[in-house]
Structure 1
């Protein structure tokens, strides 16, 4: 599984180092031919093309699939699909 950030398209990284705003955190399957690349769509059905790879991985079993500090921005639809597996 690949964790992706849906970013605010109107806020780019500026010269002051301002980070873009993460709107939602999504999950996508890994491409079987390139395991670091996501499949074309997230588990909730959005295109992964405009999203940024978070490079987040839970450190141990039982940790959330999303970065804990972004709890309030996790995609509930992606989470529902993950729970149904």
Structure 2
């Protein structure tokens, strides 16, 4: 039973990691490089939005992702009894 619990825990953990990395990839690579021209039509704080994402936005999103991951892992630890 404990081994099945551990397998389910890691399966869910890896799923969270992959989803969060995909979001970070879309923001950093997608918004900063692929969609830069379209985003540059929008201004954000006096700067073109594509430039902003390439220079700062991806870092902000990464920090938010860290906090989201911590929150998800705390819930996951509680769910599987690893919070003790």
Q: Greater strand percent: which structure?
A: 1
Q: Greater helix percent: which structure?
A: 2
On whether the aligned pair clears a TM of 0.5, the verdict is no
TM-score (norm 2): 0.24
